[in-house]
Amino acid sequence: MSIVHIEASRPYDVLIDECTLDEVGELTRRVSGGDAAFVVSDTHVAPLYLDRVTESLLEAGYRTSSFVFEAGEASKTLQTYAACQSAMAEAGLTRSSVVVALGGGVVGDLAGFAAATYMRGCSCIQVPTSLLSCVDSSVGGKTAVDLPEGKNLVGAFFQPDAVLIDTSLLETLPHHFFTDGCAEVLKYGAIADEDLFSLLEKPLVARDSRLKEVIRRCVEIKRDIVQEDEFEQGRRQLLNFGHTLGHAIERCSNFEITHGYAVACGMALVARACSIRGLCGESSADRLFTVLRSYGFSCETDFDSSSLYQAALLDKKRKGDSISVVLVRGMGKAFCKSLDLEEFRRFVADACG
Ligand SMILES: NC(=O)c1ccc[n+]([C@@H]2O[C@H](COP(=O)([O-])OP(=O)(O)OC[C@H]3O[C@@H](n4cnc5c(N)ncnc54)[C@H](O)[C@@H]3O)[C@@H](O)[C@H]2O)c1
Ligand SMILES: O=C(O)C(=O)C[C@@H](O)[C@H](O)[C@H](O)COP(=O)(O)O
Ligand SMILES: [Zn+2]
């Protein structure tokens, strides 16, 4: 078992192993003393893994109940969140109860936000089941739901009590969503670790022998950033590379383009605009395009630049008439730059080509 400790406002461990699912109860018991556990999952993951998690929680002495919602980004809404909160109240949960998020990033974000706000906060254990949630969403405490107007617009920073990663669960993850997760993995290489980026030039595949090592490296990069800037006042913005336009692409597609594909395209568009402005060498931009395409991502968008610009105005890095954009100089070298909105409009136009 590999353990990455995160020293945040609420410190916790991220455990990475191949067979922790049947130990979720015992591992939860080590960090949460309550008597009731509430498992949140979705309609794809629950039939595969909910019984095992429930059994393990019962064995550890928890009274258990669950809330299962329709899988997919379309469920990451205030409506599902409200239904989840009602189910928690009906189950008689108290402030000492523990929410177990069993699923991908959609489940993790929604259940994390439910835990952050139920009775003003109860325990939360993240059990990520997609590659994206293992490397990114389960760690660092960003929780949220979407509004029709945009991504993650209602949420809270709320660190979990533990993150339990069982890499064997990725065996059932559909190919499309494995690829989605690869976009965030490539993001880590692009912003902070050229060696990781080079390793990924040979595309990751399901059951890849490098997977555990790659997950650990991503979690370590996120740990370093979150420990330095938990509430995203500065360096944490780097984790948003590709997201300002990525989230705009998700919004413009009515959330039909999934997060990883949108972020991958967002990274490519930013690299193109950086290259046009001489901020990033043409060879670095080409290197990013080549790798993204080798994973099956598109480096172009069908949406026009004014629609993307409009959608991007609800980005959380905007302050009044300016917006902070994450740019790259080369692989592993990202930085933030504040652009006034007129500059940003031209930037998006360059990015779209
Ligand atoms: N909080 C954060 O820091 C953060 C970071 C990155 C992304 N996100 C958010 O995460 C979400 C995307 O996460 P995602 O890609 O995991 O999407 P997801 O949760 O929708 O999961 C993808 C699909 O795979 C299925 N699935 C998950 N694990 C499975 C498994 N082991 N076996 C079979 N099917 C499985 C799900 O049911 C779903 O259909 C987005 O909403 C994004 O905004 C949040
Ligand atoms: O943890 C972070 O910080 C991130 O930005 C990680 C992103 O991959 C993630 O998609 C996040 O939810 C985006 O956050 P938002 O604040 O732009 O909604
Ligand atoms: Zn993301």
pLDDT tens figures, 146-165: 999 999 999 999 999 999 99
Residues lining ligand 2, Cβ inside 6 A: 136, 140, 142, 151-152, 184, 232, 236, 239-240, 243, 316
Average pLDDT, the chain: 97
What's the pLDDT at 353?
Answer: 86
Q: How confident is the model at residue 282 (pLDDT cuts 50, 70, 90)?
A: confident
pLDDT tens figures, 320-344: 999 999 999 999 999 999 999 999 9
For the domain with range 175-209+230-352, which CATH number is right: 3.40.50.300, 3.30.70.980, 3.20.20.70, 1.20.1090.10? 1.20.1090.10
Q: Residue 148 has what DSSP assignment?
A: T
Please report the ipTM that was assigned to this predicted complex: 0.99
Tell me the C-alpha to C-alpha distance, in Å, between residue 46 and each of 52, 68, 94, 262.
10, 7, 24, 26
Q: Which segments of the chain belong to CATH 3.40.50.1970? A: 2-172
What's the pLDDT at 7?
Answer: 98
Give the residue-averaged pLDDT of 254-266.
97
The radius of gyration of the chain's CA atoms, rounded to the nearest angstrom, is 20
Is 130 annotated as a binding-site member?
Answer: yes
What's the pLDDT at 340?
Answer: 97
Q: Which is the closest atom of ligand 2 to the Cα of 140?
A: 1
**Domain spanning 2-172, CATH class:** alpha beta
Give the residue-averaged pLDDT of 295-310.
97
Residue 83 main-chain phi, psi, to 5 deg? -65, -40
What's the pLDDT at 281?
Answer: 86
The letter for the amino acid at 144 is: A
Q: What is the pTM of this model?
A: 0.98
> Which of left, alpha, beta for 72 (phi over 0: left; psi -120 to 50: alpha)?
left
Task: Specify whether 251 is catalytic.
Answer: no
Q: Which segments of the chain belong to CATH 1.20.1090.10? A: 175-209+230-352
Choice among 217, 259, 272, 316 that is catalytic: 259
Residues lining ligand 1, Cβ inside 6 A: 42, 44-45, 48, 71-73, 76, 103-107, 109, 129-130, 132-133, 136-137, 140, 142, 151-152, 169-170, 172-174, 177, 180, 184, 259
> Which of left, alpha, beta for 266 (phi over 0: left; psi -120 to 50: alpha)?
alpha
Give the residue-averaged pLDDT of 86-115.
98
Give the residue-averaged pLDDT of 78-103.
98
3-class SS of residue 334 = strand
- Other beta carbons within 10 angstroms of residue 82's beta carbon come to 12
Q: Does position 39 have pLDDT exceeding 90, yes or no?
A: yes
HSE toward the beta carbon, residue 178, CA cutoff 13 A: 16
State which H helix or E strand residue 123 sits in. strand 123-128
Percentage of the chain lying above the pLDDT 70 cut:
100
